[in-house]
Structure 1
Amino acid sequence: MTTQPGPTTTTPIPVEMIDPYRDYLNIPPGSALLPGGALGATDLPAFTKLDEYTKAPPYTIVVCSHGGGISWTELMKAAYTLKANQYKQLGYIKEFTYYEPFFDVEKQTSQLETVLAMKPDAVVISPASPTALIPIIDKFYDAGIPTVIVNSQYTGKKFSAFIMQDDRLFGKLQALWLVKKLNGKGKIVVLRGAPGEGPDIYRWEYGAKPVLDQYPGIEVLGVAPTGWSYDGGKKATEAFLAAHPTIDGVISIGGEPTAGAVDAFIEVGRPLVPMTGEDSNALVKRYLKYHGKPEYGNFDTCFPTMPVWWAAKGIDAAIDLLQGRSIPRTQVYAAAYIPTEAIQSYVNKYHFDKFPDDLWWNAIWYTGLTYEQLKDMFGVK
C-alpha cells in the first residue's frame, strides 16, 4: 500500500486512550510530515510501460547495499544471495554482484560510479542517504538501466521501482508505545542509528520525535548515534547513565542498540526501564530474562520489524522489468510488528533461544530461507 505523510502538529491523543498498535497507522488525510509529499513521490507514470526494459536473459544484476558489518545487513545479504541463486538456476541471471559501503555515503557513491561503468542489465540500490546519492542514481535511470530502489528512504524522483517500508510509522509506533508506558511523563534518552541514513532520519525525525513533541511531560535528556550496533547502544547508554541520575525510558530506533542499553543498565546496577526495540534475537533474549521480574526494575519493550524481504522484492522487480512486465513504480508498506504477547509462543515453536543474538526474527518469514537453512546458517543443531 502507499502511505501518505503522517502528522506533525495534530492534537495529541490523550495518554489513557493511546493504543500504539492501532494509532500508529492513523494518519490524517492531507497532513504533511516532510517536504515532498508521500514517500516515493515522482512525476513519472504510476506504472512502468510494457516492454520498457525488455531484454533477453541471462542478466547481469548488481545490488548496492547501504550498510554492512551488522547482523541485520548480513541477513539481508544472505537473502539477496539466495534469491539471485534461485534465478541463476532458472537461467535468468548469469552474474550477480553485491556491494557494501558500510553506511558510508562517499564509499557508496564511488561504488555506484564503478557499477555504472560496468553497464549492468539492472541495479538494485539501497541508498545510504535519502538525498546525497540522487545525482549518481539519476545517471542509472537516464542511461536506461532498470533502477530499483529498496529498503532505505530516498527523495529522488527518477527510478524504475521504489519498494520500501514507511519508517516514519516504525518510529511513530515506538514513540506512542513509550508515551503510553510512561503515562505521558518522564525523562528519556534516545539511541539513533547511523547519522544521515534514511531509516535513522525517518524513524526519529519524522516518526518518533513529532509524537514526543506533542507530550510536554516527556523530557528528552539526550540523543546519541549508535551505528545500529550493540556496542554503539551500550556505549551511548553508559554515557547517559553516568550523566543522568534519573532515566525513565529509552527510545532506541533499532534492536541491537536496545540490547546494549539493557546490559549497560544491568552492569551499573540501575533498575531497568521501558525501552523501545526491534525483533533482534539479542533483545528478545533479554526481554525473556528480565521482563516481569521486579528485582530488575520495570523492563518492557516492543518489537516493530524491518523485514529483509526487500532482497526478494528488489530482485523480483529487476527481473520483471527486464522481462518487459509493467509493475507499480512505487510500493510503500506500513511498518510491521510482532506482538509481545506472542513472543513466548514463537520461542516455543521455533526454539529461538537456541539461536545466537545475530538472528532477526523476521528471517523466519521474509528471507525465503527455510527453517532448516536458517539453522544451518547459524550453526543450530
Structure 2
Amino acid sequence: MRIHHTSRRWRAAAAASLVAAIAVAGSGCGSRSNDGGGSGSGDKPFIALSNGFIGNGWRQTMIAKFEAAATQAQSDGLLGKFKVVNAPGENSATEQVAQIKSLLLQKPDALLIDPASPTALKPVIQQACDAGIKVVVFDSAIDAPCAHVLLNSFKDWATAAAEPLVKGIGGKGTVIVSRGVVGSQPEEEMYKTTQEILAANPEVKVAATVNGMCDGAKAQKAVLGVLSSVPKVDGVIGCGDGYGVAQAFSTAGKPIPALTFETNGRALNYWNDSKLDNGSVAVMSDPGQSVAALWEAIDLLDGKDIPKQLTFPIVLVEQKDLGAWASALKPDEYAAWPWTQDLFRKQVEAVKTGGAPVQPPIPSAAN
C-alpha cells in the first residue's frame, strides 16, 4: 500500500516545534498501545485514538471493536501500530486536550478522536492538522474545519427513541426524560429533538428530567431518586438506559413503563424475555463507528477522496430482529455494525451519490 502523506522528516520537525509550544501532558487513563513489532516505520502507518470518556458500556464496546479491528489490520499489513488513550473523568474536554497534546508528541500518522466537546478541542485539532496528521473525529460533530467527521444521525437516534414510545402510550401521559452525556454535541442535538417531539405532543407531560449518561446503572440511580415524587409514569425517554430504568421501577414496586432500551445483550435479553409490548424500543448510535473511522484514516493516508463529513446508520433493534441481536451479544456488549473495509467504502459511495445507506449484517453469536 502506498501512503500519500506529508514526509516523516517534515512531520518530525513540526512535532519538535510543538514541543516548545505544548507542555508535555500525561499519557492519560487507560492507555493501550500495540506496536506491531515496535517500529511503525516505512509505509505502515501509526494510528492513535483519543477517547474523551470511558464511563459507560457503549464507549467500552467502541474501544474493544476498534482494538480488534486494528489488530487485524496489523496482521493484514495495513497498519504499523496503534495506540488508544482514554481520558479520565466525566467527559472533561480539558483532560482530553492534555491527552491529545501528549499524543501529538508521539507523531502518529492519523489521529482518531471521540471528543468531549464540539468546540474546546478546536485549537489542538488544528495543531495536529498543521503537523500533517490526518484527523478523523467520530461520534460527534466538531468545530474544526481541517478534520474529517464520521458520525451517526443523532436526530434519527432521538426520533427513533421518542416517537415509538410516545405512540405506544397513546400520545398522552406522563414521562421522565433521561438525558445522555450532557455537554457533548450529540446529547445537545438529541435533547433538542426530544423537546421538539414532546412539543408536538402536548398531552405528554414531563414529570422529571434526569441525567442518565446513556448508562443503565447511572440512569437506575437517577430515576430511582425521583420516583417517590412522581405518582404515575407511562414512559421514560432515554438514550439507551432502559434496563437500569426497569430495575429502578422494580425496586420502587411500580409497573414497568415504556422504555428506551440500551442495545447491549443484557437489556435486549431482558426485553425479549419480558415480552414488553408497550412502545418500548432499543436504539443507540453505533459503537462500530470507531472501526469505520479506522478505515477512513487508512484510506485518507492512501490518498483516497473521502467527503469531509460522513453520516453512517444508527443501530435500531426492531422486534423482528430482537432475538437475533440478543443471541449474538454478551451481557455488557453493545450492538455494533461490523464495518469491514469493503462495507466502509460502499457506505462512502452511498454518501457521495446520495444512495441508500449500507445495511451491514446482524452479527451472529459465532462472530
TM-score exceeds 0.5: yes
Query: Per-residue deviation at 1:188?
Result: 0.8
Q: Tell me how large the CA RMSD over aligned residues is.
A: 2.5
The 5-angstrom pairing of residues 151-190 of structure 1 reads: 151-159=139-147, 161-190=148-177
Match among 318, 321, 335 for residue 342 of structure 1: 321
CA contact (8 A) 1:53 1:322 kept: no
Count the aligned residue pairs.
310
CA contact (8 A) 1:54 1:324 kept: no
Q: Which has the higher contact order (CA 8 A, sep 6+)?
A: 1
1:196 equivalenced with 2:183 (yes/no): yes
**2: CA distance between counterparts of 1:345 and 1:147?**
35
1:123 equivalenced with 2:111 (yes/no): yes
CA contact (8 A) 2:66 2:291 kept: yes
- The structure-2 alpha-carbon separation of the partners of 1:373 and 1:115, relative to structure 1 and needing over 3 Å to count, comes to farther
Match among 46, 60, 69 for residue 60 of structure 1: 46
- TM norm structure 2: 0.77
| Structure having the larger proportion of residues in strand | 2
Query: Per-residue deviation at 1:285?
Result: 2.2
CA contact (8 A) 1:58 1:93 kept: yes
**2: CA distance between counterparts of 1:372 and 1:345?**
9
Deviations 1:330-367 (A, max 9, x none): 111343412113313554xxx35xx542022336x458
Query: Per-residue deviation at 1:116?
Result: 1.9
Give ranges in structure 2 of 5+ residues lacking alignment.
Answer: 9-41, 342-361
- Tell me what 1:220 maps to: 206
Partner SS for 1:118: coil
The 5-angstrom pairing of residues 10-29 of structure 1 reads: none
- Tell me what 1:286 maps to: 270
| Amino acid across the alignment from 1:137 | I
| Amino acid across the alignment from 2:286 | P
The 5-angstrom pairing of residues 31-180 of structure 1 reads: 51=4, 57-102=43-88, 103-159=91-147, 161-180=148-167
- The structure-2 alpha-carbon separation of the partners of 1:358 and 1:213, relative to structure 1 and needing over 3 Å to count, comes to same
Query: Per-residue deviation at 1:94?
Result: 2.5
- Tell me what 1:248 maps to: 234
- Tell me what 1:313 maps to: 292
- The structure-2 alpha-carbon separation of the partners of 1:330 and 1:68, relative to structure 1 and needing over 3 Å to count, comes to same
- The structure-2 alpha-carbon separation of the partners of 1:69 and 1:366, relative to structure 1 and needing over 3 Å to count, comes to farther
| Aligned-pair identity (%) | 24
CA contact (8 A) 1:153 1:202 kept: no
1:266 equivalenced with 2:250 (yes/no): yes
- The structure-2 alpha-carbon separation of the partners of 1:75 and 1:373, relative to structure 1 and needing over 3 Å to count, comes to farther
- TM norm structure 1: 0.74
Query: Per-residue deviation at 1:139?
Result: 1.6
**1: CA distance between counterparts of 2:313 and 2:138?**
14
1:277 equivalenced with 2:264 (yes/no): no
Deviations 1:159-206 (A, max 9, x none): 1x211101111001222112211222111111112221233222222x
Give ranges in structure 1 of 5+ residues lacking alignment.
Answer: 1-49, 293-297, 375-381
- Tell me what 2:280 maps to: 301
Deviations 1:139-161 (A, max 9, x none): 212222111111223233221x2
CA contact (8 A) 1:188 1:251 kept: yes
1:329 equivalenced with 2:329 (yes/no): no
**1: CA distance between counterparts of 2:363 and 2:249?**
36
Query: Per-residue deviation at 1:233?
Result: 0.8
**1: CA distance between counterparts of 2:258 and 2:226?**
15
**2: CA distance between counterparts of 1:356 and 1:198?**
29
- The structure-2 alpha-carbon separation of the partners of 1:289 and 1:116, relative to structure 1 and needing over 3 Å to count, comes to same
Match among 322, 343, 359 for residue 333 of structure 2: 359
